[in-house]
Chains A and B, each alone.
Chain A
Amino acid sequence: MSGKIGVYFDQQNIGGGLDLEALAAQTSAKWGDLTAVVKVVPVLALAVDEIRADIEAQGLDGVLLCGASPRVDGELYRLPVQVEHVNLREQCVQAYKNPDRTPVDSASAPELLTLMARDYVNMGVVKLQKSEAPEPASVTGVQRILVIGGGWTGLTAALEAAATGYEVVLVEKADKLGGAANNIPMASPLVSPWTDKQPTNLVAKVSEVTGNPKIKIHMNAHMEKLEGQPGEFKAVIGTLSGPVEVEVGAVVLATGWVALDQKYLAPMGLGKSPMVVDAATFGKMLVADQVKANRIAFVLDTTMAEQAVAKAAEESAPAGDEKPAAAAAPEAEEGEEVFVKEDLESLRHLSYSNAVNSVGMLRLANTVCEKTNDACQAFILYKDMTVPGILERFYKKMQERLGVMMTKADVTDIREAGGHMVVECKNTLLGMDFDLDVDMVVLPTGLVPTTAKDVTIHFDYRQGPDFPDLQLFDGFADSNYICFPYETRRTGVYAAGCVRQPLTMDACEEDAKGAVLKAVQCIEAASHGVSVHPRSGDLSYPLFNMVRCTQCKRCTEECPFGALDDDEKGTPRLNPTRCRRCGTCFGACPERVISFANYNIDQIGSMIREVQVPKDFKKEGPRVLILACENDAYPALDMAGERHKPWSPYCRIIPVRCLGSVNAIWVSDAMSKGYDGVMLLGCKYGDDYQCHFVKGSEICAKRKENIAETLNRLGVEPERVELLEVAIDEYDKVPAIIDGFVDRIVAMGPNPFKGM
Chain B
Amino acid sequence: MAQITIKPDLEFVRALEEAGGESLKKCYQCATCSVACPLSPANAPYPRKEMVWASWGLKDKLRGDIDLWLCHNCGNCSDLCPRGAKPADLMGAARNVIYKDLTEPTVVGKWMSKPSGLPILFGIPAVIWLVVWWIRAGFNGGQWFPRAADGRIVFGQVFYGDYTIDPIFILTFFGALFILARGVMKLWALFKPEGKTTVIGKTKCWIWHLWDVLWDEVITHRKFDDCENGPATGKETPSRKYGHFLLVWSFVILACVTAIVAFAHWGGKVMPVIHFETPMPLTFPVKILANIGALMLLLGLGFLTVRRLRLNPKFQGSNWYDWYLLGIIWLVAVTGVLSQCFRLADAIVPAFLVYYLHLVFVWMLFAYLPWSKLGHFVYRTAALLYARMYGRS
**CA–CA, A325 and B6, complex, Å:** 54
Of B23-31, B276-284, B292-300, B357-365, the one with at least 4 CB within 8 A of chain A: B23-31
Tell me, rounded to whole Å, the shortest Cβ–Cβ distance linking B48 to chain A: 8
Of B50-58, B123-131, B320-328, the one with at least 4 CB within 8 A of chain A: B50-58
Of B7-15, B195-203, B335-343, B379-387, the one with at least 4 CB within 8 A of chain A: B7-15
Q: Does A400 contact B (CB under 8 A)?
A: yes
Interface mask (B40-82 → A, CB under 8 Å = 1, otherwise 0):
0000100001001101111001000000000000000000000
Interface mask (A398-421 → B, CB under 8 Å = 1, otherwise 0):
011111111110000000000000
Q: Does B83 contact A (CB under 8 A)?
A: yes
Inter-chain contact A435/B58, CB cutoff 8 Å: no
Inter-chain contact B4/A396, CB cutoff 8 Å: no
Inter-chain contact A374/B26, CB cutoff 8 Å: no
CB-defined contacts of A433 to chain B, threshold 8 Å:
3-4
Inter-chain contact A377/B10, CB cutoff 8 Å: yes
A window 436-481: CB within 8 A of B = 436-437
Band of interface residues on B = 20 to 34
CB-defined contacts of B10 to chain A, threshold 8 Å:
374, 377, 402-403
Inter-chain contact B6/A436, CB cutoff 8 Å: yes
Inter-chain contact B4/A434, CB cutoff 8 Å: yes
Please tell me which one of the listed residues A374, A399, A402, A436 contacts residue B28 in the complex, with CB atoms under 8 A apart.
Answer: A399
Q: Does A431 contact B (CB under 8 A)?
A: yes
Tell me, rounded to whole Å, the shortest Cβ–Cβ distance linking A384 to chain B: 13
Inter-chain contact A430/B25, CB cutoff 8 Å: no
Q: Does A747 contact B (CB under 8 A)?
A: no
Tell me, rounded to whole Å, the shortest Cβ–Cβ distance linking A420 to chain B: 11
Please tell me which one of the listed residues A401, A402, A431, A435 contacts residue B44 in the complex, with CB atoms under 8 A apart.
Answer: A431
Tell me, rounded to whole Å, the shortest Cβ–Cβ distance linking B86 to chain A: 13
Given the known interface contacts A399-B25, A400-B25, A405-B56, the answer about A431 and B4 at a Cβ–Cβ threshold of 8 Å is no
Tell me, rounded to whole Å, the shortest Cβ–Cβ distance linking B239 to chain A: 32
Interface mask (B260-280 → A, CB under 8 Å = 1, otherwise 0):
000000000000000000000
Q: Does A29 contact B (CB under 8 A)?
A: no
Inter-chain contact A435/B49, CB cutoff 8 Å: no
Inter-chain contact B3/A435, CB cutoff 8 Å: yes
Inter-chain contact A435/B5, CB cutoff 8 Å: yes
CB-defined contacts of B56 to chain A, threshold 8 Å:
405, 407, 430
Which B residue sits closest to A428, measured CB to CB? B52
CB-defined contacts of B53 to chain A, threshold 8 Å:
430
Q: Does A329 contact B (CB under 8 A)?
A: no
Inter-chain contact A402/B13, CB cutoff 8 Å: yes
Inter-chain contact B26/A396, CB cutoff 8 Å: yes
Which B residue sits closest to A395, measured CB to CB? B28
CB-defined contacts of B55 to chain A, threshold 8 Å:
405-406
A window 53-69: CB within 8 A of B = none
CB-defined contacts of A403 to chain B, threshold 8 Å:
10
Q: Does A432 contact B (CB under 8 A)?
A: yes
**CA–CA, A432 and B60, complex, Å:** 14
Tell me, rounded to whole Å, the shortest Cβ–Cβ distance linking B65 to chain A: 11
Scoring A408, A429, A432, A433 by chain B CB atoms within 10 A of each residue's CB, the highest score goes to A429
Given the known interface contacts A396-B83, A402-B25, A403-B10, the answer about A430 and B3 at a Cβ–Cβ threshold of 8 Å is no
Tell me, rounded to whole Å, the shortest Cβ–Cβ distance linking A101 to chain B: 48
Given the known interface contacts A402-B10, A402-B14, the answer about A432 and B25 at a Cβ–Cβ threshold of 8 Å is no
Which A residue sits closest to B25, measured CB to CB? A400
CB-defined contacts of A407 to chain B, threshold 8 Å:
29, 52, 56
Inter-chain contact A399/B26, CB cutoff 8 Å: yes
A-B contact sample (7 more), CB < 8 A, given A407-B29, A429-B52, A430-B61: A396-B28, A404-B25, A424-B1, A430-B56, A434-B3, A435-B5, A436-B6
Pairs of residues from A and B, 6 with the lowest C-beta to C-beta distance, nearest first: A435-B5, A400-B25, A434-B6, A405-B56, A435-B3, A434-B4
